[in-house]
Amino acid sequence: MSTSNESWGSRVGLILAMAGNAVGLGNFLRFPVQAVQNGGGTFIIPYLVSFLLMGIPLLWVEWAMGRFGGRFGDHSTPFILDNMTHKRFWKYFGVFGIFTNMGVMAYYTYIESWTLTYTLKSLKGDFLGVNLEQLDTYFNSYVDLGSGINFPVWALLAFLVTLTINIYILSRGLSAGIEKVAKIAMPLLIGFGAFLAIMSWTTGSTGRCADCSTFVGLNFLWEPDFTTLANPKIWLAAAGQIFFTLSVGMGTIHCYSSYLKQKDDIALNAMSAGWMNGFVEIVLGSAVVIPIAVGYLGLDWVVDNAGFMMAFKTMPFLFDQWGSVLAVIAGVSWFGLLFFAGITSSLAMGTPWMGFVQDEFGWSKNRSAILLGIAILAMGLPTIIFFEKGVFDEYDYWTGTVSLVIFALAEVILFAWVFGMDKGWKEITDGADMRVPRIYRPIIKYVTPTFIGIIFLTSLFKPLNGELSDWSTAFSSLTSGQGWPWANDSIINQIFHINTGVHWMADGELTNMFYVDMSRFFLLACFFGLVAMVKVASNRRKQKASL
């Protein structure tokens, strides 16, 4: 419980900060790739259905939980959840709302630092005249790939600078720090994105190859194939994308909204921030990477190479085709928008910790921010040094994927079934500046938990390939005594290494699995460290109450 005097400066500032929290690198890099891999234009149908049935309900639930917790002076999920029920264990579930953010911030800030470096290099014109091979070599040398254990000096320095910027802004507080950055970053981000989208839409055919046209790229992204709608894999991919893009299941929305008063609107604010994120993803995000790449490299190249790394290993080459002046402007716009998208999200990830330690331990903003910086540095270094060993991906899997689903499932059950929909609905509609459709009451109670439950169970038991037919094959295999054919990325297989067995040594050397498993133990230790802090905070509250 705090005596915090933090507040938002303005409603528009809060919405821009919330939208900035949601808009991240995934809007420009994950969404178009997911669409390409999952039915092209048809992907948008399950995507929008997931947004309506899972995204919007979760946004309202998280905004409502946050504002409810703020009434008791709580600004982080452990005690926001604790206020909603008498069962003590829920506050430990709330630890996910701090842990997930710190885990993601540790590796996310590293990627953010790449975008900062690439922005400066674009501004200097270092990418003028480069080819794809040179870009690949530069990136690999920048993160020191190929040496097994990575000591990328410049990348480490850039990481430290980026982390320091984040920590400084967080130490300034909500209104003077985060909100001020969001008010500058979000309009610039949209402006940069609009410039690149217009360039993409107006480039058309380049004559580099038979199908080298940005229109072919747009067609590839938007051409619907309705037969894919029957494939559950597409629906799961779309639902997963909604999770990542809205930053639900993380605890950041609760934290931002906990600084609101009971009479202030949350329903319209949530819709505005949610659709703003959709605009950046669907309108701007779909217009840049894939169409421009198809325009200069052709469809076959994109089908073979579409992925996250295109941002760094391909885009500067593509911009270079527009001539040196436009190449510099486009490079700065592209990496600048990625940096802004990244920093508005990483700042949001820092706030649950800031809220928690200020509320429970009475630490100052500076002290809280510096200790966060030290913790993120300690958590981030393994992802940099053991990048090639798979530690970076391991963090992303557990903190950036699995934890989100677990926490979202828990919070929606708590809200709709434990706290109760009568009280829950009142929380959502109190002070609302819009009429909240009543259909969302049964949706929040039944549809959203079912939706998330299916995502969680299918991720837990995912069979090889994960297609619908693979599930029936897997059940046949199980009933015939041949066991369950686990997909490599199913949660159960990830935990127990069923498909490969546990091998920490091979040919007298430590394997990648050793580093990956050690990083898991480290993340677990961080999680239980936070559990211990919540326990201490809880005891302090009891002592204060008994005085």
Partner 1 sequence: MTTSALIMIILTQGTVIGATIYFFRKVLKSPAKPESDSYSENDNVPR
Of 122 and 272, the one with the shorter C-beta distance to partner 1 is: 272
Min separation Cβ 40 and partner 1, Å? 8
By beta-carbon proximity to partner 1, the closer residue of 42 and 166 is: 42
CA distances from 339 to 24, 32, 201, 489 (A): 9, 18, 23, 29
Our finding on whether 263 is near partner 1 (CB under 8 A) is yes
For residues 248 and 400, give the distance between their C-alpha atoms in angstroms, rounded to a whole number: 11
Place of tokens 């949610």: 274
DSSP of 80-109: HHHHT-S-TTHHHHTTHHHHHHHHHHHHHH
CB of 46 to partner 1, least distance (A): 13
184 binds partner 1 (CB under 8 A): no
Cβ proximity to partner 1: between 139 and 195 the closer is 195
Asked if 440 and 56 touch (Cβ cutoff 8 Å), the reply is yes
Residue span binding partner 1 (CB under 8 A) among the ranges 134-142, 276-284, 381-389, 464-472: 276-284
Closer to partner 1 by Cβ: residue 285 or 382: 285
CA nearest to 98, candidates 256, 252, 258: 252
Give me the least distance between CB of 13 and partner 1, in Å please: 8
Q: Is there binding between residue 265 and partner 1 (CB under 8 A)?
A: yes
Distance (Å, whole) CA 355 – CA 536:
16
Determine if 7 is a binding residue for partner 1 (CB under 8 A): yes
Q: Of 431, 456, 514, 522, which lies in the binding site for partner 1, with binding defined by CB under 8 A?
A: 431
How far is the CA of 283 from the CAs of 58, 193, 331, in angstroms? Answer: 23, 9, 20
What character string, x for contact with partner 1 (CB under 8 A) and - otherwise, covers 9-28?
A: xxxxxxx-------------
3-class SS of residue 2: coil
* Binding range to partner 1, per CB under 8 A, among 99-107, 262-270, 457-465, 479-487: 262-270
- Using the 8-state DSSP alphabet, how is residue 510 labeled? E
Residues 6 or more apart from 292 whose CB is under 8 A from it?
196, 199, 200, 203, 214, 217, 315, 318
- Whether the CA torsion 263, 267, 270, 276 is positive or negative: it is negative
Which residue number, 11 or 535, has a Cβ lying nearer to partner 1?
A: 11
* Residue 215 binding partner 1, by CB under 8 A: yes
Q: Which range, of 163-171, 255-263, 306-314, 347-355, touches partner 1 by CB under 8 A?
A: 255-263
Q: Two tokens at 296? A: 């200069």
Q: How far is the CB of 8 from partner 1 (least distance, A)?
A: 5
DSSP labels, 28-67: HHHHHHHHHHTTBGGGHHHHHHHIIIIIHHHHHHHHHHHH
Strand pairing report for 505-506 and 509-510: antiparallel
How deeply is 525 buried, as exposed, middle or buried, from its count of CB atoms within 10 A (0-12, 13-18, 19+)? exposed
Segment near partner 1 (CB under 8 A); pick from 222-230, 233-241, 247-255, 528-536: 222-230
State which residue, 173 or 331, has the beta carbon closest to partner 1: 173
User: By C-beta, is 359 or 394 nearer to partner 1?
Assistant: 359
Q: Tell me: does residue 434 bind partner 1 (CB under 8 A).
A: yes
- Shorter beta-carbon distance to partner 1: residue 8 or 340: 8
Site for partner 1 in 384-413 (CB under 8 A): none
**Among 57, 94, 278, 400, which residue interacts with partner 1 (rule: CB under 8 A)?**
278
Question: Within 125-250, where are the H helices?
Answer: 132-142, 153-172, 180-203, 214-222, 232-246
Check binding of 264 to partner 1 (CB under 8 A).
yes
Our finding on whether 223 is near partner 1 (CB under 8 A) is yes
Residue among 78, 166, 98, 170 nearest 365 (CA)? 170
**259 forms part of the interface with partner 1 (CB under 8 A):** yes
Q: Does 3 contact partner 1 by CB under 8 A?
A: no
Q: How far is the CB of 152 from partner 1 (least distance, A)?
A: 39
The span of 160-168, 300-308, 426-434, 457-465 binding partner 1 (CB under 8 A) equals 426-434
The count of chain residues that interact with partner 1, using the rule CB under 8 A, is 39
Write the CA distances from 63 to 70, 121, 180, 268, integer angstroms: 11, 39, 21, 11
Closer Cβ to partner 1, 87 or 261, answer by number: 261
Q: What are phi and psi of 164, to 5 degrees?
A: -65, -40
CB of 322 to partner 1, least distance (A): 22
Contact 365, 354 (CB under 8 A): yes
CB of 351 to partner 1, least distance (A): 16
| Shortest CB 279 distance to partner 1, Å | 4
28-57 positions binding partner 1, by CB under 8 A: 41, 44, 48
Q: Which stretch binds partner 1 (CB under 8 A): 84-92, 110-118, 254-262, 376-384?
A: 254-262
Binding mask 280-299 for partner 1 (x = CB under 8 A): --xx----------------
Calculate the CA 38 to chain-centre distance: 20
Residue 35 CA: distances (Å) to CA of 24, 200, 222, 238: 17, 18, 8, 8
Which of 93, 102, 181 is CA-nearest to residue 357? 102
Reported as half-sphere exposure (CB side, CA atoms, 13 A), residue 214 has a value of 17
Provide, rounded to whole angstroms, the least separation between the CB of residue 271 and partner 1: 5
- Per-residue mark of binding to partner 1, 464-503 (x: CB under 8 A): ----------------------------------------
Q: What is the chain's alpha carbon radius of gyration, rounded to the nearest angstrom?
A: 23
Instruction: Output DSSP code: residue 213.
Output: B
Q: Out of 138, 222, 361, 456, point to the residue binding partner 1 (CB under 8 A).
A: 222
218 contacts partner 1 (rule: CB under 8 A):
yes
Which phi and psi (to 5°) does residue 480 adopt? Answer: -90, 10
- Binding positions for partner 1, rule: CB under 8 A: 5, 7-15, 41, 44, 48, 175, 215, 218-219, 222-224, 259-261, 263-265, 268-269, 271-272, 275-276, 278-279, 282-283, 431, 433-434
